[in-house]
Amino acid sequence: MDDWGIKHFTIDEFGCRCCGKALMDRHFLYSLDTARSLAQIPFIIVSGYRCPSHNKAVGGARHSAHMDGYAVDIKVENAKDRFTILTALIRAGFKRIGIYKSWIHADMHPTLPQEVVWCV
């Protein structure tokens, strides 16, 4: 993704597990790349773009930001990495964050509620 100015990710990391499409929003990817630079630790993407059928198959929200290319789930293995990633996301401008046991959902969907953090 060098031609986009994204240095920490390849487009393949965001591909739908069902169809392989990676229809990600460019501004979202810039912000995610900024967060990765701030964190200074790898971001392992466990879910990026999801086509509607894949989103349904995994039990995703009906209006999931993943289907519009505005969300990723980032793997976390311990509390220190969770704190580092969360802090970097907030500093990079993310205003929709979900905290799960083994991943963090980072989301910049422009039409969904802003300045929210949820825990599951």
| β-bridge partners, 74 | 45, 104
- Profile the chain (120 residues) by mean pLDDT over runs of 10 residues: 78 95 96 98 98 95 96 98 98 98 97 96
**Quick one: angle between helices 26-39 and 79-91, nearest 10?**
130
Residue 5 has a pLDDT of 78
For residue 95, what pLDDT is reported?
97
Q: What is the pLDDT at residue 4?
A: 66
Predicted TM-score (pTM) of this structure: 0.94
Domain 13-114: CATH architecture, name and number where available: 2-Layer Sandwich (3.30)
pLDDT of residue 28: 97
Query: How many CB atoms lie under 10 A from the CB of residue 112?
Result: 17
Ordered by start, the domain boundaries in the chain are 13-114
**H or E segment and range at residue 73:** strand 71-75
